[in-house]
């Protein structure tokens, strides 16, 4: 029988926080050693981050231990931002094969090559169905890897997020099976878990859909035949005051995932600024000519409704069966920055997931980008909550 536990440790001493979090995560397992431990550490001292990770490894007593440094953690029904904290997720998974891996980027004749991925060619009941992936965004091309995985690893769902370090580039720490890794990506492959990946968006669209008619790199120069900046300014002027206010706090661009789908899902990317020379918009990703896009704003009502709808659909698809546990990778923009006191603030995502799925354990971290599969296609998302739900 599968068992799951989560724990949260707080305080300036991260080693003690790790012990507290591990105690909370292991208690529901009834003295059975976990098959998988995932943990997330928030703090400003790199040495303490590594020491906390070492302590988690010692106490876990399992071969598969995965973790990373983060700007905030989720655990114990709470979201903790900008504080020293450790969150731990522990799972007993009978009959599940768990394989850990470390990915690195090497230079090759044709450019760059990602190495370290285990063979995943099995099909049917023996196939690896899920990969949990934690990435140092400064040394690993997460978006490119996910695009490649869609082509070369069909049927594999990738869930996880971009880690952060206390000092920016070069300070991210990834943890795998008792060792600290300072670059690349770490993860685990799961076979036979029956876990399902879910993605909930934190933005809602405003204005009409538009076709990109001119672009150069990550600068969208033309929208619907007009200079992009001019077109956006016209749209913003026609919005209701409430939407205009939301747009001023951070306008995003949604790029349609499937041009032929009846209900369009978007990959949300930030608008970083404008290019005065071309009258274009500088976007956080290359956008090709011909793609359909739509402006997006961050909205607490829409984010809450989206998460509840995604979880309700999952409950319906699984015949309302309670989940055993869930890993949650929530965008850093979804904490107190998005959800006010009426929505539970930073606690919103872990509380809603726990309540709606009747989960035994929920843990994760606040990330700078989330991985999840939508309509069978793995993507890097923004302002999203990406969830891996395990059956009880």
Give the residue extent of every domain in the chain: 3-200+303-391, 204-298
Provide the pLDDT for residue 146.
95
Q: Report yes or no on whether pTM surpasses 0.85.
A: yes
Per-residue pLDDT of 288-313, as tens digits, reads 999 999 999 999 999 999 999 999 99
Could you tell me the two tokens for 57?
Answer: 């490894």
DSSP state of 335: S
Note the maximum CA span of the chain.
Answer: 65
Strands annotated E in 19-92 = 36-42, 65-69, 72-75, 78-81, 85-92
Provide the pLDDT for residue 248.
84
| Average pLDDT by stretches of 10, the chain with 392 residues | 95 97 96 96 96 96 92 97 96 96 86 84 66 97 92 93 93 96 96 95 92 94 95 92 86 87 82 90 91 94 96 95 95 92 96 96 97 92 95 94
For tokens 């900046």, the residue is: 229
Phi (first) and psi of residue 160, to 5 degrees: 155, -155
DSSP per-residue codes, 164-229: --TTSTT---EEETTEEE-SSEEEEEEES---EEEEEESEEEEEEEEEEEEEETTEEEEETTEEHH
Could you tell me the two tokens for 380?
Answer: 């890097």
Could you tell me the two tokens for 340?
Answer: 């006010």
Percent of the chain past pLDDT 90, that is, above it, reads: 79
From the number of C-beta atoms within 10 Å of its C-beta (0-12, 13-18, 19+), residue 167 rates as exposed
Provide the pLDDT for residue 125.
52
Chain length of the chain: 392
Provide the pLDDT for residue 277.
87
Please report which helix (H) or strand (E) contains residue 4, including its range. Answer: strand 3-10
């Amino acid at each position: 029988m599968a068992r799951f536990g989560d724990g949260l440790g707080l305080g300036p001493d991260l080693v003690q926080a790790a012990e507290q979090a591990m105690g909370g995560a292991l208690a529901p397992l009834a003295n059975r050693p976990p098959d998988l431990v995932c943990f997330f550490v928030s703090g400003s001292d790199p040495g303490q981050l590594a020491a906390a990770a070492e302590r988690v490894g010692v106490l876990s007593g399992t071969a598969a231990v995965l973790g990373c440094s983060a700007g905030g953690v989720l655990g114990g029904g709470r979201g903790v931002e900008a504080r020293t904290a450790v969150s731990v997720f522990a799972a007993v998974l009978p009959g599940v094969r768990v394989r850990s891996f470390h990915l690195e980027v090497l230079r090759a004749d044709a450019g760059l090559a990602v190495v370290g991925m285990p063979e995943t060619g099995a099909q049917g009941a023996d196939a690896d169905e899920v990969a949990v992936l934690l990435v140092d965004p400064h040394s690993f091309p997460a978006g490119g890897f996910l695009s490649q995985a869609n082509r070369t690893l069909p049927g594999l769902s990738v869930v996880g997020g971009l880690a952060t370090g206390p000092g920016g580039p070069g300070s991210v720490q990834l943890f795998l099976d008792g060792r600290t890794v300072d670059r690349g990506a770490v993860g685990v492959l799961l076979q036979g878990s029956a876990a399902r990946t879910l993605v909930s968006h934190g933005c809602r669209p405003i204005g009409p859909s538009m076709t990109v008619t001119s672009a150069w790199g990550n600068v969208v120069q033309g929208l619907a035949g007009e200079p992009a900046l001019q077109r956006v300014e016209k749209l913003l002027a026609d919005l209701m005051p409430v939407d205009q206010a939301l747009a001023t706090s951070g306008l995003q661009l949604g790029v349609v995932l499937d041009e032929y789908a009846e209900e369009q899902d978007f990959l949300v990317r930030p608008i970083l600024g404008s290019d005065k020379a071309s009258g274009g918009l500088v976007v956080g990703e290359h956008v090709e000519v011909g793609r359909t896009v739509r402006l997006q704003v961050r909205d607490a009502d829409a984010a809450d409704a989206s998460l509840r709808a995604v979880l309700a659909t999952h409950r319906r698809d699984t015949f309302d069966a309670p989940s055993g546990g869930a890993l949650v990778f929530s965008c850093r923009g979804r904490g107190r920055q998005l959800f006010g006191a009426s929505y539970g603030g930073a606690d919103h995502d872990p509380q809603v997931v726990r309540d709606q799925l009747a989960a035994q354990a929920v843990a994760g971290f606040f990330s700078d980008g989330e991985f999840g599969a939508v309509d069978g296609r793995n993507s890097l998302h923004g302002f999203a909550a990406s969830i891996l739900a395990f059956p009880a």
